[in-house]
Structure 1
Amino acid sequence: MRLPEPMGPLLLSLTAIPVSYVVNSMSTMSDPISIAGIGILVLLGLLVLLVIFMQGDPPSDPLFYVFAIFSFTSVIDLIIWLEEDGYISGFMEFYMKEGEPYLRTSHGILICLWDGTVHYLLYLIMLAAIAQGKNYKAVGQFWLGSLIMSMLVFLPGNVVGKYGTEIRPAFFLNAPYLMLPFWAGMRIFREKHSLAKTPAEKVEMAHREGILQRPLDIALILFLLAAIVFTVFRGMLALDCPSDSCFTYIYQYEPYLRDPVAYPKVQMLVSMFYLLPFQCLAIYGLLTPGCSWMLDWTLIYAGAIAQAQFAHIGSSLYHRTPYTYRVPHDSWWVFMISNVLYALGPQLLAYRCLRNPKYFLQRTSQSAEDGKKQD
């Protein structure tokens, strides 16, 4: 018996709705250890069902099982957001009380919303691509950046923030989100981008273009320079910079950085130590022809920034954030414009690299032969 493609994984992920309702109705779901145990059993049961359904015609890509299970947990996260914001009730109350109470913070709710919408859509796209034998490398790399960024902030933030004393066994259910993306990333990186073959002559012409002949790249370099300054500045804020400019900014524009939940500080430090080096390398890639790694890493960068800025902007405005840590009304526009531009720039950079990749391609003997055939 085989699940119909691509509707099978979609229908399987929606079983999260009755499963969460039934589990929530069980009176035994008040012990933290029981909650962690039932979570493991549900995920293992889902994996067994997938293997049984796919036994007759297993997928060619083992990541099918990863994305199918993660799509199930994405629906769980969407249920958490709907319940915590009062749209539904009776589904995940047990888990929020004794499983992962830090998910009730603004940051926790918003990463659930992101996972239940954006990640869920990406999983369905990748599952459909696997079922149809299509390339999904670009989507996979965007997802990879987004998920890794989410985990790099969420897990340390839980431990070092004010909820560090409320870590329960269910915390370790996040382990697959930390380990599986690295395995998935290695498989995704081995795939080739679905780019049309470019004749060597066009690659050479693109390589001969100076930066003054590429106004879009000039604009992207200026953005990256501004992003570097902004990243370093907010990293210094997270490290409690004592200067007057830091004091003024953190109180008048981004008071959320002072929130004791620690997620915003961890976010700024992760950005400074991991994203800042790439921002510098990206400028080099825009100035130096043949940097083919730009096609991969700009997508990961775009996914990471998109997730990070969604959580940061949202948490800075969300009603669950204490009023004193929300963006002041007088500085709302300055905050929004600077942070939205910081999020949109990487998306434009990734789009530029994939839309017109000639400048980043390396000339090989194969590309030269392709060019001769087309003459």
Structure 2
Amino acid sequence: MGLPEPAGPLLLSLTAIPVSYVVNSMSAASDPLFIAGLGVLVLLSLLVVLYYFVQGNPPQDPLFYVFAIFSFTSVIDLIIYLEEDGYLSGFMEFYMKEGEPYLRTAHGLLICLWDGTVHYLLYLIMLAAIANGKNYRAVGLFWLGSIFMSMLVFLPGNVIGKYGTEVRPAFILNVPYLLLPVWAGMRIFREKHTFTNIPAEKVEVAHTVDIFQRPIDIALILYLLGAIVFTVFRGLLVLDCPSDTCFTYIYQYEPYLRDPVAYPKVQMLVYMFYLLPFLCVSIYALLVPGCSWMLDWTIVYAGAVAQAQFAHMGSSIYHRTPYTYRIPRETWWEFMVLNIVFTLGMQLLAYRCVRNPAYFLKETKQTEEDGKKKN
């Protein structure tokens, strides 16, 4: 048997459709413990099936199994979204009642939609790369940031929000989404960069270019300064800032921050404690050459911000959010423009680093290679 092609995991992921339909028709599917146990059994069965079918020529990268199983759960999440929004019926009703009822919130459904579309596409791209022996570092880093951000907000929000009393045994099915990405991240970071062959002369020249000769970097610094202010401000809002400015903004521009589901509050705190430091050091990296860590971490944070903003912006206008917490029509455009700029700025920062990485490479490594060539 040849190296696993992405068509194999694709077909396996689509078995989520008949599996969910059959389980939904089982009478035992009303027992929370049964649902949790069945979920574990299904995941283990998928692993066994994958292992069996690749025995002839197993994949060189063990993350093949992780991405293949996660692609199956992505289809499950897409089914949840489609069913809860009325496009399907009779597939995941059992799970929404006795498994994870908090997925019926606007935030829960939108992370299901993101997982069933964006994450699903990323899994297929990475599986295709593994099958063809190609590098998938950039895609993997984007996925890593996205999946971690999703879990950092979703799990605490489930426990401390208004659905905290409805946490069922199926909650443990989220554990693989925390542990496996940690292992996957360690492997992805060890992948080789695609720009290690940049000549030392180009790196030296890039290091000598002054910030005033780099208008794009100046624009990115201005964006980062604005993003820092915006991040701190919204963090103070969810910490009950008593000023008139905070009161006006939270009631007229982002009332969703007051939603008792707690996801928006957790999201703003995650921004303040995890995104804010990176925004600050990114300004330093744009001013001081040789900060090679930017080449990886900008992609991670781009994925994190993309996922977070999709869920936050979407929940702010989604019909599942109570009307009093949705964005008022009068300030709809201001909210959208501000948040879109906040989202796209991080994507452009990552694109700038990947597109022209010479400024961020360490000059010493390149000169050592040149010295060896001369000798």
Category of TM-score, reference length = shorter chain: over 0.9
Contact 2:4 2:58 in 1 (8 A): no
Normalization by structure 2: what TM-score?
0.97
Provide the secondary structure at the position in 1 that maps to 2:28.
coil
* 1:234 lines up with 2:212 in the alignment: no
Provide the secondary structure at the position in 1 that maps to 2:30.
coil
Provide the secondary structure at the position in 2 that maps to 1:349.
helix
1:90–1:367 CA distance, 2 compared to 1 (3 A): farther
CA distance in structure 2 between the aligned counterparts of 1:365 and 1:277, rounded to whole angstroms = 27
Provide the secondary structure at the position in 2 that maps to 1:249.
helix
CA distance in structure 2 between the aligned counterparts of 1:65 and 1:177, rounded to whole angstroms = 14
Q: Deviations over 1:257-306 (max 9, x none)?
A: 00000000000000000000000010011011000000000001100000
Residue equivalent to 2:248: 248
Residue equivalent to 1:182: 182
Residue equivalent to 1:34: 34
Provide the secondary structure at the position in 2 that maps to 1:108.
helix
CA distance in structure 2 between the aligned counterparts of 1:290 and 1:3, rounded to whole angstroms = 39
Residue equivalent to 1:211: 211
Residue equivalent to 2:158: 158
Range 206-215 or range 190-199, more displaced: 190-199
Post-superposition offset of 1:195: 2.0
Post-superposition offset of 1:6: 2.0
Residue equivalent to 2:274: 274
* 1:335 lines up with 2:341 in the alignment: no
Residue equivalent to 1:11: 11
CA distance in structure 1 between the aligned counterparts of 2:200 and 2:371, rounded to whole angstroms = 5
Contact 1:151 1:178 in 2 (8 A): yes
Contact 2:4 2:54 in 1 (8 A): no
Post-superposition offset of 1:365: 4.9
**Which residue identity lines up with residue 186 of structure 1 in the other structure?**
M
Identity of aligned residues (%): 79
Residue equivalent to 1:202: 202
Residue equivalent to 2:106: 106
Contact 1:255 1:324 in 2 (8 A): yes
Residue equivalent to 1:287: 287
CA distance in structure 2 between the aligned counterparts of 1:373 and 1:352, rounded to whole angstroms = 30
**Which residue identity lines up with residue 116 of structure 1 in the other structure?**
G
Post-superposition offset of 1:367: 5.1
CA distance in structure 2 between the aligned counterparts of 1:62 and 1:366, rounded to whole angstroms = 32
Normalization by structure 1: what TM-score?
0.97
1:161–1:168 CA distance, 2 compared to 1 (3 A): same
Provide the secondary structure at the position in 1 that maps to 2:340.
helix
Residue equivalent to 2:124: 124
Residue equivalent to 2:24: 24
1:371–1:227 CA distance, 2 compared to 1 (3 A): farther
Any stretches of 5+ residues in structure 1 without a counterpart? Answer: none
CA distance in structure 2 between the aligned counterparts of 1:211 and 1:124, rounded to whole angstroms = 39
Contact 1:198 1:358 in 2 (8 A): yes
Provide the secondary structure at the position in 1 that maps to 2:152.
helix
Post-superposition offset of 1:366: 4.7
Contact 1:83 1:89 in 2 (8 A): yes
Residue equivalent to 2:93: 93
Residue equivalent to 1:357: 357
Post-superposition offset of 1:3: 7.2
The number of residues matched between the two structures is: 374
Provide the secondary structure at the position in 2 that maps to 1:364.
helix
Residue equivalent to 1:77: 77
1:365–1:312 CA distance, 2 compared to 1 (3 A): closer
CA distance in structure 1 between the aligned counterparts of 2:118 and 2:369, rounded to whole angstroms = 41
Contact 1:2 1:53 in 2 (8 A): no
1:42–1:3 CA distance, 2 compared to 1 (3 A): farther
CA RMSD in angstroms, aligned pairs only: 1.4
1:244–1:191 CA distance, 2 compared to 1 (3 A): same
